[in-house]
Amino acid sequence: MTDTRPDIVMMMTDQHAARILGAAGDRHADTPALDRLATQGTRFENCYCPAPLCVPSRMAFLTGLEPQTTGVLTNDNYLPSDIPTIAHAMGAAGYDCHLVGRMHFYGPDQLHGFAARPIGDIGASFPGGAPPGIGPLTPGRGNRGPELAHSGAGETSYQAYDLAVADHAERTLTALKNRRKRTGRPFFALVSLFCPHPPYIARAEDYARFSGTLPPPRLPPPETDHPAIAAWRRAGKVDDLTDEAIARSRAGYYGLVRMIDRICGRVLKCIEGQENTVTIYTSDHGECLGERGLWWKSVFYDESAKVPLIVRGPGIAPDAVDRRVVSLMDLSATLLDLAGAAPLPGQTGRSLMNATDWQDRCTASYYGGLMNIAVSDVRHRMLRRGDLKLTIHDGAPPQLFDLGADPDELHDLAGDPEWRDRLDDLIAEATEDWDAAGIAEMQKRQAGRVAVIRDWVRRTAPPEPMRWRDPQPGRNRYE
């Protein structure tokens, strides 16, 4: 019997803001491949990450479970190998599942259900491991304001890694397509890139395309900050940036987006003409890029929490914009639906293929843990329901925005007496399955575990057999 289920090719990047895309209306972005994909499929305008940080967001997507359920709260935490992922479920349903590139797995399990991974991560395999060496570009790496002065034009191992991922993706897709012809077995290929993650250093051609042409950030820093955002701003040391550092960093970021679009174009060319194929593009979280004077991720403003999501394939409306409120965990449920796979235990996502009685609702959370920004343990929870967005900050006042009337999230309604009853209802909904005190205890336990692992890594330098290392480290230089 012929298996008519579609092949699925998904491209995922790290830190691509949903708004910095030609198809999303950014007239400065140079993204022809992704714009073309959007005209051939549906772009989801209100897709949120499960956490505005790499590892928690990716593990939530893979498992369909929120960070506080898996225990992956920060960039230091392992995903336990006995928590099944979409790769386990799709493999059990008969799919040939391959991961090509980055997924930020920590620990000895670098597959988590994928049958093969021809190129591993560029980053360390254990918390506390050495980051990729980028030589003279090292001052530009990190997530604090002083690093932004070192943005600009140059070549990095990060760019080389993404190009290596592209090479492996082309070979993998060719092999999988040929195997499908022979065996009829459908495949799922997840091609995952590192850029446009910082440092904001782009190749000369890509940097020059934007240098001197981009406007400054649209939203200025507010006169008065929410206490949690003020603490983040201080920790990130972003208050004294020069106009030059801001301009260089924005040009570098746009240049990196231009590069990942070219790479996505290569992947798309590999499956051109494959009618029974679902193609997906997304990212793990967004990027503030100077809006409100903020940078990077780790906050719940839309610049950081929203991600691009484009889906093309049989049964997907072409040249369409879907404005439902959705999450990457809805995407994982969608993949299982398309594959005819059983739902994952406890998954919270809903298949995007089923629009009947859709509730415009999603949640996300953040517990700190961004590299080299020292903040105390935080417990932040976001709920978006319809146009309303609530953020709970354990130990600080909540924030409430009406995105229908205030899409830039400038007017916090949490202190308005007229919104008191609605605020109370949303807080009750957001905390129904979220226990801040219990999570605080989990954070204490995990901090002790991570300290031991980091000390073990420092003293023993465990092998990292799947880690990609740049064969030409001398390439790291400014141009």
pLDDT tens-place string over residues 71-99: 999 999 999 999 999 999 999 999 999 99
- Whether residue 9 contacts residue 244, with contact meaning beta carbons closer than 8 Å, is answered with no
- H or E, element range at 215: none
Residues 402-429: b if buried by 16+ CB within 10 A, e if exposed: bbeeeeebeebbbeeeebeebbeebbee
Residue 119, CB-side half-sphere exposure with 13 Å CA sphere: 27
- Whether residue 137 contacts residue 199, with contact meaning beta carbons closer than 8 Å, is answered with yes
| Nearest-5° Cα angle at 257, 310 to 322 | 20
pLDDT value of position 93 = 98
**Of 346, 414, 187, the residue nearest 279 (C-alpha):** 187
Q: Using one digit for the tens of pLDDT, what is the confidence trace for 339-363?
A: 999 999 999 999 999 888 899 999 9
Q: Which whole-number Å values give the CA distances from 57 to 262, 322, 362, 397, 460, in the listed order? A: 25, 22, 14, 25, 29
| Nearest-5° Cα angle at 197, 194 to 200 | 130
pLDDT at 110 over 90: yes
- Whether residue 297 contacts residue 15, with contact meaning beta carbons closer than 8 Å, is answered with yes
Confidence of residue 68 (pLDDT cuts 50, 70, 90): very high
pLDDT value of position 383 = 98
pLDDT at 1 over 90: no
Instruction: Extract the tokens encoding 167.
Output: 């090479």
Integer Cα distance of 20 and 321 in angstroms: 16
CA 477 to the chain's CA centroid: 27
Residue 213, CB-side half-sphere exposure with 13 Å CA sphere: 14
Q: Using one digit for the tens of pLDDT, what is the confidence trace for 19-60?
A: 999 999 999 999 999 999 999 999 999 999 999 999 999 999
Q: Using one digit for the tens of pLDDT, what is the confidence trace for 159-218?
A: 999 999 999 999 999 999 999 999 999 999 999 999 999 999 999 999 999 999 999 999
Strand order, beta sheet including 309-312? 96-101, 187-192, 7-13, 277-283, 309-312, 42-48, 320-327
User: Mean per-residue pLDDT for 365-386?
Assistant: 86
DSSP code, position 190: E
Integer Cα distance of 40 and 58 in angstroms: 26
**Of 35, 34, 28, 24, the residue nearest 211 (C-alpha):** 28
**Of 338, 287, 353, the residue nearest 57 (C-alpha):** 287
Integer Cα distance of 427 and 433 in angstroms: 11
Integer Cα distance of 60 and 51 in angstroms: 8
Integer Cα distance of 1 and 152 in angstroms: 56
Can you name the residues that pair with 101 across neighbouring β-strands? 192
Integer Cα distance of 369 and 373 in angstroms: 8
**Of 368, 337, 387, the residue nearest 68 (C-alpha):** 368
Instruction: Extract the tokens encoding 119.
Output: 């190129």
End-to-end CA distance of the chain: 57
User: Mean per-residue pLDDT for 369-373?
Assistant: 72
pLDDT at 375 over 90: no
Instruction: Extract the tokens encoding 466.
Output: 């799947």
Output the average pLDDT for the chain.
Answer: 96
Confidence of residue 142 (pLDDT cuts 50, 70, 90): confident
Q: Using one digit for the tens of pLDDT, what is the confidence trace for 445-463?
A: 999 999 999 999 999 999 9
Confidence of residue 400 (pLDDT cuts 50, 70, 90): very high
| Homologous superfamily in CATH for domain 7-478 | Alkaline Phosphatase, subunit A (3.40.720.10)
Does this model's pTM top 0.85? yes
pLDDT at 8 over 90: yes
Percent of the residues in the chain that have a pLDDT greater than 90, as a whole number: 93
Domain boundaries, the chain: 7-478
Instruction: Extract the tokens encoding 383.
Output: 């709920």
